[in-house]
Structure 1
């Protein structure tokens, strides 16, 4: 069995107005939560792949309290998406805190991807960046400092399959909505569809963060 080292990050500065780093939580909770995540899979909202007239992925707001569940010391929420019948290129996505109106310390924050039909090879790293580098996004979310984006090789996804991107926060933490966007190139209508990261630098030019070993052993 392949041993993976998924990138489940603990974030502070980049997603909020905070500047203090947080201490790690007991990450073995994530492995124990795996059956619960699968049990609640269908309760999370299903977001379609949707693009505007220019082929940019539509940004959606994810309610962090609705359709969530508590397991041990964490509260879990997320969103689902279904892949098209043909997959070409890489899956890409980003998320950011949508205009927090207070100082938020993102303690014990984690996320990953899960396939409905079984195990998969997921994200290997993530890239944090300053939102100010992306003028249109920073204008829309003026109180947000940072953004996280990731890519996943399309060969790790199956066509016509549902996937869940889930998040874990402390059970007593209520966050503002997360703004999320995701894209897959489509050989039909949107052959060049992509994330709405307009500005400099282009996606991928920031330095990726290596995987943080959080769930050792079974793949997700």
Structure 2
């Protein structure tokens, strides 16, 4: 399982967010370059269609592949009372022939994206990962060098942490607590919830750029 929240930030404030995150996490950012292919199977013989994502890490010396399947979100009173989305996730490393294998299994390419940006990691009540990326679409099949932003001037921020049925409430609390430090720059909420940019982002960004960041969390 994983706990996740998302938000958006204007590209002009991303540098300030990076300064804030570096201060909070106490480490340098890591470059992010992910070619994501979303595949769907066609329903047949009474089965339902399924979706799987293939992630190619372009920042590695030799691009590496990961199979990622996102399951359903947790529902019920417990889920409604927490501010993060809790969902099941299955991941597995794969070889470079993985796309060919899924095509052979009857999956078809639904869409593909290129995410370019950076990430930070921090251990604070949970192993939290923060990614900030420009989401780009392909003009031609697999043409990552010709990708263009889906929403020019806006970048996606995602905060995730692995969890289990036994500790998801503690992990969700840790993610929520960490997100409070980012509140001056952006709103973070469950994926799918409508959030916009924060009115105070410009002032908060200017302050961060002038003082060089914040205090490292311990």
Query: Given the two structures, how large is their TM-score scaled by the length of structure 2?
Result: 0.26
Please identify which structure carries the higher strand content.
Answer: 2
Please identify which structure carries the higher helix content.
Answer: 2
Query: Given the two structures, how large is their TM-score scaled by the length of structure 1?
Result: 0.26
